[in-house]
Structure 1
Amino acid sequence: MSPIGYTYLNQLYKLLLPKLNVEVFADKSVSADSIVDFGSSKRRVIPATRKITDSPYEHMCAAIKYQGIRLHFFAAIFKVIDVNEFADFIRASPQSKYNRVLWFLFEWLTDEELPIPALTSGNYITLFDDAFYYTLKDGIRHKRMRVINNAIGNRDYCPTVRKTKQIQKIAGIDVYETAYTKMQSLGDVLSTDILGRSINYLYTKETKSSTEIENERPDKQRMQRFLNAVKNVGLFELNKGKLIDIQNQIVEERVRANDYRMDEIYVGSTIQRYNIVDEDVHYIGPLAKHVPGMMAGLLATHENLMLDRSMPALIHACIISFGEVYIHPFIDGNGRLHRYLIHDVMKQREAKHKFIIPVSASILRNPEKYDQVLESISRPILSMLDYSFSDDSKIVINNDIEYMYRYPDFTEHVKFVYDMMETAVSSELIEEVCLIICFDTLKDHINSTFDISNKNIDVLISLLLSNGGTLSKSKQSYVQQFIELKHLPGIETVAKAIIEKIMSQFSVNIPELMNRK
């Protein structure tokens, strides 16, 4: 087999870029295209009768034809090609579709003009094929090579999302409509009061879960600030000033930012073994000098998508939130800001939504999936970086692979966020309503029979729900301070009946939910 397209170029220019999930090879022994397994990845095998010369520029055209536009590859390639040879190749057939795309990509990504005269005739072509990529409806027309740049971002930052079968299926689903339908399926038990209290708790749960993902235990004041921020998503323009303001609300005072970070940063932990300090690095952010430009590009992408409105809101939210966490613009708070942005962008796109879907709670339950999707970007970056640590444990980055950060593919990230949203709708929303129904029903019964303070009733109910409707002997000595123990069997009978009814009707486990909280 002979490598084609990006695989060929990767080897020719010694780019050392991690291979794509599907590599293309030509084989003399086959007569039709096929996809074959190759370890953990796949190969697309094409007949070798399709003549592709050993010209790197022919392989650039083949790369686009068979694998689409991978911006990080072209950004790396254009740093090492012979520009005069490349210009000669384009000049030989300037009207060719693939040549015009290559011509545009070079001048767009490098901000340099090739010595080629502008075209004076011919139809316009789009840069990205919207059958395979999410694009802007109305791109920018470039007369020079008659190309419409319909990329969602710009030179400073341009993520892509491919229209795979899974992603196109997801794109047609409104997660909020799904949530409304789920809530309505509860029937008459769902009162306006119960819904309101459930929503209030979901904000609290999202705040708590988002901090727990970071293994943090912030003080009450900081938790309240983050809660207020989450409750007010979508109310303000998303710009640099607002990002800094949110970061200031969710971190300790000593790490509050007044601008983007000025130092290199990594995510990891320090492990000391036998007097040897070992840094366990999970992720390294882009060089600090690139952060302002990348963040400006990310915010410009958000602006483009807000004006265009053709991209589904969930995909838009995913692009902006994950873009922020990989750029890592601040010393601290990037992870919580990332999850805040999911809700902020969703609310900016659809102001009618009255509550948030607690995606952080779902992520907290699925840390391995979260790590896996983060590593789809972080592992290739770490494999390419040459870094070390100074005597004072600061990270030193010895090579610049900024294109790996500027042009990410977020296709897998979109699928992950949707899965987490779907899990939250199916579990977090319904579970909270069921808990409140159990609590309220049992409270009404106790209130109608006994004269006990609200505080003590709440304690009693919590103990009963946590233990499946019975009170453990160890708790009875406390409860008998406000209710005679002879009344407990009757209360327990009612509690068990309420719990069993809700559990059978809505397929939830009340004791498990109480103990999880």
Structure 2
Amino acid sequence: MSVQFSGAVSVFHDRRLPETAAPAGYAALIDAYKLPVPIPRTLSAIGTKHRVIEQGGWRIYTPRHAPEASLEGHLTFALKNEGLDLAVLKRLFLAVKEGEIAELVRQKPTGLYTRRIWFLYEWLLGRELKLPPADKVSYVDAVDTDLQFGGTGENSARHRVRNNLPGTPEFCPLVFKSAALNEFIAQDWKERARAVVSEVPKDLLARTAAFLLLKDSKSSYVIEGERPPQDRIQRWGRAIGEAGRAPLDEQEFLRLQNIVIGDERFVKMGFRQEGGFVGEHDRDTQRPIPDHIDARHEDIASLMAGLIAFDHSAENDLDPIIAAAVLAFGFVYIHPFEDGNGRIHRYLMHHVLARRGFNPAGLHFPVSSAILDRITEYKTVLESYSSRLLPCVQWEATQKGNVTVLNDTADFYRFFDATPHAEFLYECVRQTIEQDLPNETSFLRNFDAFRAGIESMIDMPERTLNNLFGFLRQNQGRLSKRARENEFAELTEDEVAKIEQLYADSFGQSGALSD
């Protein structure tokens, strides 16, 4: 197949370059082979200056970095400098003749990059090239762990490549070793969480955990714009409390959907049997206006099998929060159900963190609450991939206002760059450890002191005491005239003054701020 690699350009696929430069690596391959793939978050090009420039989603390299204008040249440049983009690689391998890949290997049978290309070709396409096993040379990692996070690794003697990909050909998003993630991991938030918990008495910790669980359940519904009754919130909270106890399977996903959906009359339960999208409908025509198009229903079984296999890889030494981000955001992009996807997506974060031993025993961090606090950032993270995926999906509207996908899109849900998602989830977990957990523990300590003070003054039922506290919190520590004349008319002026002082001593301003 004869292809032409373009020279210097100022705009590439509607994305402006910081300066006129020649696309390199994945950008050059996407352009030359007309690959219909989501454009990588960061692209590379060769400029004229003698320093590397990083700006606007571009990394402009110096002339000395320029690869040979060939399939091998740009592939090698990509693997060396840009890491693995499995969606691009698979579409590329489908576009070229297998003889071209085989010839690259024959020319350099011991080459580090040619062996990786050979392994990735066979791994992604599930078919072997007509090549003899590699000579006994040193093994090379499939994933360059200087650039991206990999798994534990299993040797492929045929290629002399260590398969440290963290997933399977059915589901394998990847995460780059960004400065933010490296810093998060170095800070060891798992140990910090244990340090915070170790200072809390067991009875107080149990109450804290129960409150945070309920808070997380309620927040997860609020994110979806729902205000369900308390019994549904409590039921979902109990489900979150059991997260991580067993590995995932298809039946577990169906069980979770049944818990999430309170009224099944208008929802088709189980995996979708038609298309799906996230977005709006045109007010006049009811034509879909998608922000995200879900995986084709024909691909759900394969995609979910890959996602479940990722969860079962207990030996996978991916950082727990990175693994949680990959699994949870991978699920929400697939969107396998007609309804309930968002809440199950956030449940999966709890599932992975608990299953991989990140949570202190008996405690689930209120991740949904932290997400609700960062809802704009959350939507931006979701769109960081959806906005690049959408142009690659060919679809038409159905008569019922749904969508039918016309092209093969499964690989775009199997393979994506989950770096922004992992960074976001780390921020949320940090917030729960630094703020939510200590704040709720402090609130309960203060409330216990307030209650003890009231009980030493007045014999008051628990419900009445809670009502009293609610009035004080709503009115910045003062009992309103209405409350003093109605619910608490029996209190003397002296008792009211002492109660208000007790509240101030116990809480200061914190009582008004607590949830």
TM-score under structure 1 length normalisation: 0.89
- Write out per-residue CA displacement over residues 331-372 of structure 1, whole angstroms, 9 at most, x where no aligned residue: 211111111111122212227522111111010111011011
Task: Decide whether aligned partners of structure 1 residues 41 and 106 sit closer, same or farther in structure 2, where only a CA change above 3 A counts.
Answer: same
Task: Decide whether aligned partners of structure 1 residues 438 and 5 sit closer, same or farther in structure 2, where only a CA change above 3 A counts.
Answer: same
- Write out per-residue CA displacement over residues 117-143 of structure 1, whole angstroms, 9 at most, x where no aligned residue: 33344332221122322222232x333
Instruction: Work out whether 1:360 is the aligned partner of 2:368.
Output: yes
Q: Which residue of 1 aligns with 2:118?
A: 103
Instruction: Work out whether 1:132 is the aligned partner of 2:147.
Output: yes
Q: Which residue of 2 aligns with 1:277?
A: 286
Q: Which residue of 2 aligns with 1:506?
A: none
Q: Which residue of 2 aligns with 1:160?
A: 174
Equivalent residue pairs, number: 493
**Residue among 315, 332, 343 paired with 2:339:** 332
SS in 1 for 2:486: helix
SS in 2 for 1:479: coil
Task: Decide whether aligned partners of structure 1 residues 120 and 178 sit closer, same or farther in structure 2, where only a CA change above 3 A counts.
Answer: closer
Task: Decide whether aligned partners of structure 1 residues 56 and 498 sit closer, same or farther in structure 2, where only a CA change above 3 A counts.
Answer: same
**Alpha-carbon separation, structure 2, partners of 1:30 and 1:182:** 50
Q: Which residue of 1 aligns with 2:312?
A: 303
The structural deviation recorded for 1:14 is 1.8
Does 145-154 or 431-440 show the bigger shift?
Answer: 431-440
**Residue among 418, 425, 437 paired with 1:417:** 425
Does 263-272 or 170-179 show the bigger shift?
Answer: 170-179
SS in 2 for 1:148: strand
- Write out per-residue CA displacement over residues 295-323 of structure 1, whole angstroms, 9 at most, x where no aligned residue: 1111112222x123x22222222222222
The structural deviation recorded for 1:496 is 2.2
Determine if contact 1:128/1:151 at 8 Å carries over to the other structure.
yes
Alignment-mate amino acid for residue 303 of structure 2: M
Task: Decide whether aligned partners of structure 1 residues 99 and 180 sit closer, same or farther in structure 2, where only a CA change above 3 A counts.
Answer: closer
SS in 1 for 2:315: helix
Does 449-458 or 282-291 show the bigger shift?
Answer: 449-458
**Alpha-carbon separation, structure 1, partners of 2:138 and 2:438:** 54
Q: Which residue of 2 aligns with 1:66?
A: 81
Task: Decide whether aligned partners of structure 1 residues 291 and 481 sit closer, same or farther in structure 2, where only a CA change above 3 A counts.
Answer: same
Determine if contact 1:182/1:430 at 8 Å carries over to the other structure.
yes
Instruction: Work out whether 1:292 is the aligned partner of 2:301.
Output: yes
Q: Which residue of 2 aligns with 1:231?
A: 241
**Residue among 151, 157, 165 paired with 2:165:** 151
Instruction: Work out whether 1:216 is the aligned partner of 2:226.
Output: yes
SS in 1 for 2:291: strand
Determine if contact 2:219/2:369 at 8 Å carries over to the other structure.
yes
Instruction: Work out whether 1:437 is the aligned partner of 2:445.
Output: yes
Q: Which residue of 2 aligns with 1:113?
A: 128
SS in 1 for 2:59: strand
Unaligned runs of 5+ in 2: 1-20
Q: Which residue of 2 aligns with 1:268?
A: 279
- For residues 375-454 of structure 1, what are the structure 2 equivalents within 5 Å? 375-454=383-462
SS in 2 for 1:117: coil
Q: Which residue of 2 aligns with 1:345?
A: 352
Determine if contact 1:21/1:41 at 8 Å carries over to the other structure.
yes
- Write out per-residue CA displacement over residues 68-118 of structure 1, whole angstroms, 9 at most, x where no aligned residue: 121111112122223333333332222222111112212211123323333
Unaligned runs of 5+ in 1: 504-508
The structural deviation recorded for 1:484 is 4.2
**Alpha-carbon separation, structure 2, partners of 1:385 and 1:279:** 14
Determine if contact 1:343/1:356 at 8 Å carries over to the other structure.
yes
Does 169-178 or 460-469 show the bigger shift?
Answer: 169-178
**Residue among 170, 182, 185 paired with 2:184:** 170
Determine if contact 1:298/1:320 at 8 Å carries over to the other structure.
yes
Query: RMSD across aligned C-alpha pairs, in angstroms?
Result: 2.3
Q: Which residue of 2 aligns with 1:2?
A: 22
Determine if contact 2:247/2:311 at 8 Å carries over to the other structure.
no
Determine if contact 1:452/1:482 at 8 Å carries over to the other structure.
no
Determine if contact 2:45/2:58 at 8 Å carries over to the other structure.
no
Alignment-mate amino acid for residue 104 of structure 1: F
Determine if contact 1:247/1:257 at 8 Å carries over to the other structure.
no
**Alpha-carbon separation, structure 2, partners of 1:120 and 1:183:** 53
Determine if contact 1:248/1:256 at 8 Å carries over to the other structure.
no
Instruction: Work out whether 1:24 is the aligned partner of 2:44.
Output: yes
Does 362-371 or 426-435 show the bigger shift?
Answer: 426-435
**Alpha-carbon separation, structure 1, partners of 2:130 and 2:204:** 69
Q: Which residue of 1 aligns with 2:97?
A: 82
The structural deviation recorded for 1:279 is 3.3
Task: Decide whether aligned partners of structure 1 residues 265 and 489 sit closer, same or farther in structure 2, where only a CA change above 3 A counts.
Answer: same
Task: Decide whether aligned partners of structure 1 residues 303 and 257 sit closer, same or farther in structure 2, where only a CA change above 3 A counts.
Answer: farther
Task: Decide whether aligned partners of structure 1 residues 445 and 42 sit closer, same or farther in structure 2, where only a CA change above 3 A counts.
Answer: same
**Alpha-carbon separation, structure 2, partners of 1:110 and 1:244:** 31
